[in-house]
Structure 1
Amino acid sequence: MTAPFNFGQLRFLKALTEALFHGADMAITADQVVDNICQLFDKVGGTKLDEIRLSLTAIEVVLGGPFFTEDDVAGRAAKLKNRLQNSQIDLFQDMARLRGIVYACYYGHWQSGLTPGDQDANVANPVHRQIGFTLPKHRARGAGEMPITPVTGREIDPAHVLDATTLGDEYDVVVIGSGAGGAVAAHNIAAQGYTVLIVEAGPFYPSHKIHHHELDMIASLYKHGALQTSTNRDFVVFQGRCVGGSSTINNGICLRVNEAGRTHPDAQDVLAKWASIGAPIDAAAFHASYDAVQAKLGIAPIEPRSGRHNGPHLIEGWKAYAGASGRPRDARAITDWFAKNFGPPNTPNACAYCGYCNSGCPYGRRMGVAQTYLPAACRDYGARLLPDTKAERIVWQTAYDGRREAEAVVLILPGDVRVMVRARVGLVVAGGTIASSKLLDRSDIDGTGYQVSLNVASPVVALLPDGVGGDAWDEDQMSSYVDVGDYLLESHFQPPMSMASLMPGWFADHADRMKNFGRVHSAGILFPADRRGRVVNDKLQFQLDATDDLPVLRDAMATLTKVHFAAGAIECYPALAKGQVVTPDMDIDAFFADAIREQDDVTLSSSHPHGGNAINVDPSHGIVDLDCRVHGTTNVLVTDASVFPSCIRVNAQWTTMAMAHYATGRSDPFG
């Protein structure tokens, strides 16, 4: 393979890898790690590859230029510790995040076999052996356990997938984006008799093409190979870039806004907030849309056996913590298992809890939009799907009443071939907060991409005593939650590559924590950062508010750490840049008050960007009207999370689908 990096960059990457594993035993060589890094960026390519090349050059200069590679491993490690690990300089803290890529490409090591993702060829994978991990195919499943076998018959028929040779010149409706918002809209519109073309920028990966080689799948199914960041690099923004969008690579979590009995009673009323800022949607109709999506996807609370380790760890830990806290807020908190579109549960097709949700379900058991709305739209109503194609801009004409009317859309096919496809009736934009904002901006819609919200996440990993419970990785990735009011706590556990990238720590400390892979339990915080961002130059610019957001972040991290200790943990590893350890004897609140001075001090991510093209009755305060139609146009709808007027504070999948149904479930949404 042609390396995506030059000789000097490869030499530096090897020297950096050796330094990051100083004091640790490596089960594979540094050269093999560098080869894995090359595989990742060879697939990702594009602007992200250009960005990492520039970063490598800058980091090498900071670490001493050619003198870094010529130093011994101990000397290199000392430079990393002094200049990156312990730095309070924002630029150096940003550079330090390269460690996560190196660790991910060590623990994501895969041995090639006869077929892509060959699990048999990895029975003796040396990295898996080092951390005591077993791939799903080789796990023992006894009586009452769900077998890890495929479910067939749910996939999109390949005959319904177009390419440049089969693409038509015109359709009634063109839908941009095949994720949660686009798929539901396409299905509903096609069901009304319109011919529908669904355009997707990413590839088509039916379940049988997905496998457990994390590095390969994440590079293939995520935007920028899951390395998309905010402009300041303080937030990693995870988004799917494939048929089905993020519903193909998420954990299937389905929460309604302000659902009675499943939401903290003191939590902000989201729909009331929307009404107060100019977006008074019909609450009864919106919840009816939730119901319609629930019926289509089989959404229901998961089976506890699928989250048997980290799920009860969080629930029981919360009960012990809240019982002793004496805080009224804690006493009113909601603790429950997630509802998901996996299965449905308690059927032969239920989730087989392999633990690889975030790199796609190879077993066809996830009831994502690529297994429900999209195949039904194509099979039953004649819609067609065009993957690997970008929407460049909307072509306008003037309607009889003076408003703009979408006449066509310019598409970029593989090979950078541009074609114009006419939309006889209308256009639906559903590419997600960032992509939809960019498309509308390129199409001369003013004011897009403002007031973007994030549900901000950060993990806290806990070490349990030896011999407590089974292997923590042998389960569904996310299973239980606690709604504390200002934020949520959510249990989770990741396969080796993903877990290594979020595991705090440097050098031998990181390696020791990974060697306890089966003993560590993990959960994360999720708190709403409301309308803090905007899309600038094709990227998300986002900054937490020091007065309103950072205190919530510190409180959430401290609370989750206390919950881990209440559940029996002996030490905790919050996702702090320096990799500190927290023990039960410490003043935990004081620790986090000192450790988190700014957002750069902690690893932050989000899978739920929303806003940017908000609903508002007033065109000067929003992009779309109450029917999700772009103000000043006759026939362009936006049906993704970008229309949310404020932060919804919970995982966004179900609400995005409900919004798309709300906008398109009525007869003649373009009328």
Structure 2
Amino acid sequence: MAAPFNFGQLTFLKALTEALFHGAEMKITADQVVANIATLFGKVGGTKLDEIRLSLTGTEIVLGPMFAEASVATRAERIRNRLQNSQIDLFQDMARLRGIIYACYYGHWMPGDQDANANNPVHKQIGFTLPKHRVRGPGELAITRVDGREIDDAHILDAATLADEYDVVVVGSGAGGAVAAYHVAARGYKVLIVEAGPFYPSPRIDHHELDMVANLFKHGALQTSTDRDFVVFQGRCVGGSSTINNGICLRVNEPGRTHPDAVDILAKWASIGAPVDKAAFHASYDAIAARLGIGMAEPRSGRHNGPHLTNGWRAYAAASTEPGEKRAVADWFAKNFGPPNTPNACAYCGYCNAGCPYGRRMGMAQTYLPDACRDHDARILPGTKAERIVWQTSIDGRREAEAVKLILPDGSERLVRTRVGVVVAAGTIASSKFLDRSDIGGTGYQVSLNIASPVVALMPPGVGGNAWDEDQMTSYVDCGDFLLESHFQPPMAMASLMPGWFADHAARMKNFGRVHSAGILFPADRRGQVKDGKLRFKLDNDEDLPLLRRAMATLTKVHFAAGALECYPALTKGQVVTPGMDIDDFFEDAIREADDATLSSSHPHGGNAINEDPQYGVVDPECRVHGTTNVLVTDASVFPTCIRVNAQWTTMAMAHYATARSDPFR
């Protein structure tokens, strides 16, 4: 494999790294950080490697001539003036390089396992202990592996064992694909599940964050919208995003767990021509819950950061005069990490987003996929791109899927015939691209995102405990038009989202054991489009930006109500908020456009919406592609509007709704 960067790019990366740590102590060298960056992008490759090469060239030009030869102080000053404090969109985009460099410092991993990293110098610098070396007392779960849940290697295909014909080809193995594949296979159909990403069972996963991100996430967790305002996190492995998410399971409009003023999602769908049988849909939620053992997160699993949010909210709401805030719901998440209160429950190691090495996550690769393979003879083909559907004309004149063209890991092409039909469930972006390549019109329109942005809080010494020694996300507050969600990340991920530059960033990371964190989540309804294979997405200046400011201000006030000394909202410039400030005015001034904040989403949905009228949707209310006889879409791309809560459970319920009630191919 060719080196990802040339000598000049490596030299510039080293100079940039030294400048970003100006005034801060480094426990590994700048050369080691650059080696980590090169390793990451060497594994990610593709368009993301091309993009960062271009970004490096542009950033070097922006930072001025002879940047690498200037003193570190001079380099830092140029970065401060031209990147950190810039309002130019292009320069703000370039400033996101800081997150990559900080991630590749704090994500440093010494060769070997956890024992080999017991004295990892970066971990010691911030007071972090790897899970294996944490001391657990009475009543705590040991951080050990649970065996017996994984997919059998014999059920994983390659080019040599791939047959020429199957009854049903399922494109995608995540929340929508796995559930659909199981129910279709249970009807006696011979099912092939095609997954673009690799097969990574739990025993292959470890706590080397950089390695896991490169192997388990689409584009190495660096997938962005076209203007780079949003990072869009999606899994790209067998099991999809259920392998690397936080297991959050929220229903739409669940009584007692949803704000009473929240939009009635299913009623809204019905009003725009996308009716869903409410009773049947909630029965699908129930069926998923039974299989996955969904239950409330255990308090011990979120003992520090979880109650920080809910206690802070109650203190804040008690003083509020806003009726909507009085009606807000603050509670623990329901999760598929368990089942809870059993010996096999989540051991709250804090590495959810890097994959669970312990087999305790009840993701698709531990439930529906092994079930489909073991009990109903489905098979999985990883590392393979589904290029397009090959059509024939049915007796009634509609299009009928005859075969699926595949591109195998070695680049060769293979046509697999389908006797019965095709299920598309590769996720909002990939499903839209696949359907478009298959000559389905109108795909990729009106994509919605749940937009997330964090606020980190510094707590007094000895207050609250180590938030890194627990499950990453355990509690939430539903405020009606937005949610607040507790979260904390292991070192690499936390460094990439931690606001601040230079010594300020380093000082905040040294307080790793004293910071608590939460994020906002608000719905950006039908703002995006998948065009030319990429997601275009723009917030509405009149609706979305005011909501973003209000949500960030509210969360900051909640942190202070919980006792925080200062807060670090995820703003490009890295500003600090203190209790004496006018917080509403601060955010009004600080966020003028989306580029001013660090925004992300793990929940893209829409693009191939349900609608009775083919003029307004890609699939009908049974999730069948309009104008076809035998092609279903069963992932979040069929959601007609933004569902405003975490999408995992609803995606699974939709796949169950579409395939479990009756045979979808008859």
TM-score range, shorter chain: over 0.9
Runs of 4+ in 1 over 2 A off after TM superposition: none
Q: Are residue 530 (structure 1) and residue 525 (structure 2) matched?
A: yes
- Which residue pairs with 1:61 in the alignment? 61
Aligned-partner residue type, residue 17 of structure 2: T
How far apart are the structure 1 equivalents of 2:501 and 2:651? 38
1:630 to 625, 628, 631: 625
Deviation by residue 1:476-513 (Cα, 9 ceiling, x = unmatched): 00000000001000000000000000000000000000
Q: Are residue 35 (structure 1) and residue 35 (structure 2) matched?
A: yes
How far apart are the structure 2 equivalents of 1:472 and 1:653? 24
- 1:325 CA displacement: 1.1
- Which residue pairs with 2:446 in the alignment? 451
- Which residue pairs with 1:595 in the alignment? 590
- Which residue pairs with 2:81 in the alignment? 82
Aligned-partner residue type, residue 192 of structure 1: R
- Which residue pairs with 2:363 in the alignment? 368
Superposition map of 1:574-653 within 5 A = 574-653=569-648
- Which residue pairs with 1:409 in the alignment? 404
Q: Are residue 305 (structure 1) and residue 304 (structure 2) matched?
A: no
- Which residue pairs with 1:105 in the alignment? 104
How far apart are the structure 2 equivalents of 1:299 and 1:661? 16
- 1:607 CA displacement: 0.1
Gaps of 5+ in 2: none
- Which residue pairs with 2:380 in the alignment? 385
- Which residue pairs with 2:46 in the alignment? 46
- Which residue pairs with 1:11 in the alignment? 11
- In 2, are the aligned partners of 1:192 and 1:667 still within 8 Å (CA)? no
Q: Are residue 397 (structure 1) and residue 392 (structure 2) matched?
A: yes
Aligned-partner residue type, residue 480 of structure 2: G
Superposition map of 1:327-476 within 5 A = 327-476=322-471
Q: Helix, strand or coil: the match of 2:319?
A: helix
- Which residue pairs with 1:235 in the alignment? 230
- 1:2 CA displacement: 4.9
- 1:3 CA displacement: 2.7
Q: Are residue 212 (structure 1) and residue 207 (structure 2) matched?
A: yes
How far apart are the structure 1 equivalents of 2:27 and 2:118? 15
Superposition map of 1:101-250 within 5 A = 101-113=100-112, 118-250=113-245
Deviation by residue 1:606-649 (Cα, 9 ceiling, x = unmatched): 00000000000000000000100000000000000000000000
- In 1, are the aligned partners of 2:351 and 2:490 still within 8 Å (CA)? yes
Q: Are residue 503 (structure 1) and residue 498 (structure 2) matched?
A: yes
- 1:667 CA displacement: 2.4
- In 2, are the aligned partners of 1:458 and 1:603 still within 8 Å (CA)? yes
1:573 to 562, 568, 571: 568
Q: Helix, strand or coil: the match of 2:418?
A: strand
- In 1, are the aligned partners of 2:170 and 2:194 still within 8 Å (CA)? yes
How far apart are the structure 1 equivalents of 2:609 and 2:297? 33
How far apart are the structure 2 equivalents of 1:622 and 1:300? 34
- In 1, are the aligned partners of 2:305 and 2:464 still within 8 Å (CA)? no
Query: TM-score normalized by structure 2?
Result: 1.00
How far apart are the structure 2 equivalents of 1:143 and 1:588? 42
How far apart are the structure 1 equivalents of 2:467 and 2:164? 53
How far apart are the structure 2 equivalents of 1:523 and 1:392? 39
How far apart are the structure 1 equivalents of 2:613 and 2:269? 13
How far apart are the structure 1 equivalents of 2:547 and 2:663? 44
How far apart are the structure 2 equivalents of 1:295 and 1:539? 36
Deviation by residue 1:175-208 (Cα, 9 ceiling, x = unmatched): 0000000000000000010000000000000000
Deviation by residue 1:146-177 (Cα, 9 ceiling, x = unmatched): 00000000000000000000000000000000
How far apart are the structure 2 equivalents of 1:528 and 1:216? 31
Deviation by residue 1:378-403 (Cα, 9 ceiling, x = unmatched): 00000000000000010000000000
How far apart are the structure 1 equivalents of 2:434 and 2:298? 41
Q: Are residue 541 (structure 1) and residue 542 (structure 2) matched?
A: no
Aligned-partner residue type, residue 248 of structure 2: I
- Which residue pairs with 2:20 in the alignment? 20
| Percent of aligned pairs sharing the same letter | 81
Aligned-partner residue type, residue 594 of structure 1: D
Q: Helix, strand or coil: the match of 1:362?
A: coil
Deviation by residue 1:412-471 (Cα, 9 ceiling, x = unmatched): 001111000001000000000000000000010011000000000000000000111321
Aligned-partner residue type, residue 7 of structure 2: F
How far apart are the structure 1 equivalents of 2:248 and 2:85? 36
- Which residue pairs with 1:283 in the alignment? 278
Q: Are residue 521 (structure 1) and residue 520 (structure 2) matched?
A: no
Query: TM-score normalized by structure 1?
Result: 0.99
- 1:326 CA displacement: 1.3
Aligned-partner residue type, residue 470 of structure 1: G
Q: Are residue 261 (structure 1) and residue 260 (structure 2) matched?
A: no
Deviation by residue 1:323-376 (Cα, 9 ceiling, x = unmatched): 001110110000000000001000000000000000000000000010000000
RMSD: 0.6
How far apart are the structure 2 equivalents of 1:292 and 1:337? 21
How far apart are the structure 1 equivalents of 2:146 and 2:662? 34
